[in-house]
Copies of this chain bind each other. A is one copy, B any other.
Amino acid sequence: MPVSSQEFRDAMARLGAAVNIITTDGAAGQGGITATAVCSVTDDPPTLLVCLNRTSPRSALFLTNRVLCVNTLSAGQSAFSNAFSAPSDEAAMASRFAVGVWGKLVTGAPVLEGAAASFDCRITEVMEQGTHSVVFAKVQAVRFAEMAAGCLMYYARSYHGLPIGQG
């Protein structure tokens, strides 16, 4: 292998990224994970992508329910990031949604009150890439906060609030 996984992770730690809670609900049940691998694909029609680790049992929930909501955390919401990034059984998953105020928009996937932005989506395509599934999703509804709420970033393996002075 030309580049080791560790070197790649060390380089990626230099690329700051927004922190998102990706949620789902439907026939397979409710769930959520923390993810930074979210990316705008095109605004015509509004489409984004999310990279999910297939080795996590929670990924199956998304692929079965075929809906997801990307909740981009505001600067003061790092507690949600920690809660949704720990591995969990079903009971622990339910308890995560007990903290915070959760609503819904069109698809039924949980929408976090106070998030910087929420993108409620239907999954349209999935592409396997090594250990991960790249999930393409068409945006059905959006909701967003005032810019003053800021955005929670993960950079150099720690949290930072944008704009400066937030968090």
CA distance A129 to B1 in the complex (A): 30
State the number of copies, please.
2
> A72: which B residues are within 8 A, CB to CB?
14-15
When the two chains form their complex, are residues B14 and A117 in contact, meaning their CB atoms are under 8 A apart? yes
> A108 in the interface, Cβ–Cβ < 8 Å?
no
Q: Chain A interface: which size bin?
A: 35 or more
> A160 in the interface, Cβ–Cβ < 8 Å?
yes
How near does chain B come to A104, taking the closest CB pair, in angstroms? 14
> A18 in the interface, Cβ–Cβ < 8 Å?
yes
Of B41, B45, B156, which contacts A163 at CB under 8 A? B156
> A151: which B residues are within 8 A, CB to CB?
14-16, 155-156
Chain A, range 111-137, C-beta contacts under 8 Å to B: 116-119, 127, 129-132, 134, 136
Chain A, range 33-77, C-beta contacts under 8 Å to B: 36-47, 49, 51, 72
CA distance A12 to B18 in the complex (A): 11
When the two chains form their complex, are residues A130 and B47 in contact, meaning their CB atoms are under 8 A apart? yes
When the two chains form their complex, are residues A11 and B140 in contact, meaning their CB atoms are under 8 A apart? no
Which A residues have a C-beta under 8 Å from some C-beta of B?
1-5, 7-18, 20, 36-47, 49, 51, 72, 106, 116-119, 127, 129-132, 134, 136, 139-145, 147, 149, 151, 153, 155-156, 160, 162-165
